[in-house]
Structure formats: structure tokens, C-alpha cells
Structure 1
């Protein structure tokens, strides 16, 4: 089934999903991930994987396949952004209110995210449409926003590749919890902005309810921009064109061209 930078995923008999951690030193992480999933499963309004096999020695986590397809790469995401945002907003409202002892803290400062984006940019610059480069480079040259002060339990990798939907665009599951952490809620919100756009994020915030302020949204936009550049680099480096296409779409939303405000093409 593919996988990410830190694991490979296999489908067995069209029923069982088996995830294997790539690095031996990280294999024991499947145990706290399984504990987290057991706690989250009964507390959020969307399905999550429920582990059947947990093997720390092999870095193996296995669970029954959830129905649906990843949103990443599906045509028509923009047409369904509001519905997806509403479902994921309710999901995050429940997740972000769970106890913070269910995962480890991730307190990487925003300057590290910016430094990583700056390091990636020379390798992807020629793939960034020329009319967006000035906005990207201005973002990379500017300081990051102020740090958040109220960490919560987050999925911490809530990209379109980890959200499953059925043919009616109803969310059928949220998968891949290996990066879950106690950290800034803006990280989850930023990926909704990147993948669903402003309309999707607005719908998510309405469903989420009170608790998100202007500073949180500033950090969410920051994370959306960093994650867009990271996804573009990942898509280009791996040959996974769905990531590249999604990142290029997000570039148009998050880094408007200099002449877009004058009525020119974005």
C-alpha cells in the first residue's frame, strides 16, 4: 500500500493492514501508538484503526482495513471541502480535548520548521511556478510567528493521505497515527488549510467550536506553508505525483502571485 518516510504498509487478503516501522531503533513506538488508538477509538466521532497485532520486536502494527479511499489524489476535493472540513472539525474538537498523557510531547520550535523549509527550497525552486516564487521567498525570509502556549493531543499528520472517504465523500476513517503527539493544535489545522483550502478550514473551525484564536490561525497558516513545501519536495523526490499535484494546488492558495490582486491569473 506504500508508506511514509518511517514505515511501509501492506494489505493482506484485502482485509488486514500491516504497518512495519523501517528503522530498528523506532520499532518499539508501535506499543504506545496502539495504546493511543485504543483510547482514541471510543472518544472521537470518526473511525480509527483498532490494533489486532502489536509486535514491538518487529515494529509491526496490524489492524482491519477501514473502508474508503484516501482523499489524496481524488478528483473533486474542492467541491467537497466544506463537508470534509465539518467532519474533521468535529473530530479535532474531540481529539484536542483528550488527556495529554496519551502521547509524548513534540515541542520543536517554529524556527526549526522554517529552517527545514528553507533547506528544501533550493531543490524545488525550479518546480515552483515563477509567479509564486516571490511570495514563497518572502515567507522563507520572514521570521516565524510567536509560539503557541497550549499544547493538546494531536494527530500531527492529518494530511489528505490519512483521511478516508466513501463514494459519497463521507469520512470513513483517519489512519496513520505514528506521529501523534502533544503539541500545537495549529499543526492539525494547518494541514486542513493546505489540503482543503480556506473554505474547508472555515467549515472545520465552525464545527470545532470555541478555542481557536487569531494567533492559532496565524500559526496554522505557517504550518500549511511549510508543509506544502515539504510535500512538494517529497512528491518530487519519491515520484509520487499525487503529493506533487496537491502541493502545487496548495501553492496557489497559500502563496498568491504578485499580480493576482490586480486581476491577473493566480
Structure 2
């Protein structure tokens, strides 16, 4: 891979010397390398043709929100690669902050801005994501069969009651969303508990805004979620909360299955650590 990175940088940044290229945060859809401790080079594995759309999207998002997002240094559509200077801070999933409540106000402001963006304009840059709740629940039921033995016996009834219940009705309103606002995509300064950036906008979509609150609940807990909502300017009622809880629980089961199979073990560890607050929050 380092040879490919050298070739890409030679083409797009003539004279830039590659001394180190360290894998950083690979996921299901992307491979990511940190070059020379300063440059992120991310290759889109599943859909390289989406690069042009993401570059345009990031340019718009940068002007929408107060939080820092990647500013593209160069993009290579043929290789499915985007490069940008690494943002300050470290991902929350691997570097928790001592006071996560301090993240709530900027997250509330971020989601207020995203969800207020003109839907028709954003639809040109971010595809609709209309995955039905019954299908999500069915997927969670299948995943749970594979991981049930790893869930502590005392917590299994929480999960099983959820899986046996009816899914919530579909949302009446769709908004522009980050759509994958998990801790791995939130950067923060651990010394000050300050949100320093939001990364990985590849799943951004026009969808149910409850998706953006779901992973905040799953990863940061119900207390932080309530503080985020206190700083949020958009509507959020009991049905919105019901859907956010539903999405959070499905996402936790998915992460548990991923971390116990092909993904990094930290996904499963976090899922188990956050299971109780996610299924009772």
C-alpha cells in the first residue's frame, strides 16, 4: 500500500516525500493511512465513484457548521482517494475524554446546522437513506443469534425484549444528516474535553434525523444525549426519541457482531460496555 500512496502523492503533490504511512482507522468502506503524521489518505473501498460527490459535499458542510471537518487537499476519482491534513484531536472511541458533557453543546450546534440545511440542495450531494425500521430490526435479530452467548446473562432480557417488540413507525420528515455520528468519527482534545472535528462523511444522507442522535446515545450515554438536545434548535418529540433509541440499539448489536467477527475487537468491547445504558436509556 505504501507504494500506491507514494505514487498518488507524487502525482498530486510533486516533491512531497513520504517517510511514514501508518494504517489509521480502517472500516468496512474505507482504508485510511496517516502519512508523515500529518496527512490523511483515505481510499473508498466499496464505492470509489463517490469521491467527486464527497468533495463537493465537504465544501458545503464546511460552510454550514462551526466544527472543523476535513478540507480536501486533493482527490483522485480513479483511485477512489481523498487526502486532507489531519484534524487536531483524537477519536473518542479510542481516547475517551474526562468530561464528555462538554461535547454536548457543540454537538447540538452541529446537528442544528445540519438538520436545518435545505433538503433539496443537500439531496444533490447526499443520497437518500430510507432503510426501513422492520428491516433494521430483522438484521439485528439475525446478528443477535451470532453474538447472544457473548452478552452477559443478566443483560440478555433487555436485548431480547427489544428484539421482540414492534419497530417504530417511519419518520414524517427527512433531513440532511451525518448519518454515522459514532465516537470513532468524533475528534476531541482529551486534556480539555473539547470537540475538535468530525470526520468520515461518506455515509451522509438525507434521512431520519434520529439517526444522528442514536449513536450519541449509544457511545456517550443518555445524559449527554439530553444535553445535546438542550442545545439543539430543531424539533425532537417522543416519537423522535423512540426512533433514536431503536436505531441506537440496532447499531449496538451490529457493532457487537462486527467486533466479534471481522472488525476490531474494540467495537465489541464498547458495545458490551454501553449495552445497559443503550437498552434502558
Answer whether TM exceeds 0.5 for this pair: yes
Query: What is aligned with 1:214?
Result: 238
> 2:221 is matched with which residue: 192, 197, 201?
197
Query: Paired residue for 1:82?
Result: 101
Name the residue aligned to 2:55.
34
**Residues 81, 199 of structure 1: 8 Å contact kept:** no
**Corresponding residue number in structure 2 for 1:255:** 279
Equivalent in the alignment of 2:29: 6
Moved more, 209-218 or 58-67: 209-218
Contact 2:42 2:82 in 1 (8 A): yes
Shift of residue 73, structure 1, vs aligned partner:
2.5
The separation in 2 between residues aligned to 1:4 and 1:14, in whole angstroms, is 20
Q: Who is 2:269 aligned against? A: 245
Q: Where do residues 1-266 of structure 1 align in structure 2 (5 Å cutoff)? A: 1-23=24-46, 26-75=47-96, 77=97, 79-100=98-119, 101-102=121-122, 103-166=126-189, 167-238=191-262, 240-256=264-280
Give the whole-Å Cα distance in 1 for the aligned partners of 2:211 and 2:234: 17
2: distance between equivalents of 1:172 and 1:201?
Answer: 18
SS of equivalent to 1:53: strand
TM value normalised by structure 1: 0.91
Output the TM-score relative to the length of structure 2: 0.86
- How much has 1:99 moved relative to structure 2? 2.1
Native 8 Å contact 1:186 1:216 kept in 2: yes
Q: Distance in 2 between matches of 1:5 and 1:211?
A: 32
Q: Please report the RMSD computed on the Cα atoms of aligned residues, expressed in angstroms.
A: 1.3
Output the CA distance in 1 between the equivalents of 2:171 and 2:279: 23
Per-residue deviation, residues 86-116 of structure 1 (Å, max 9, x unmatched): 2211111111111223211111111111111
Q: RCO higher in 1 or 2 (8 Å CA, sep ≥ 6)?
A: 1
Structure 2 residue ranges without an equivalent (≥5): 1-23
Q: Secondary structure at the match of 2:251?
A: helix
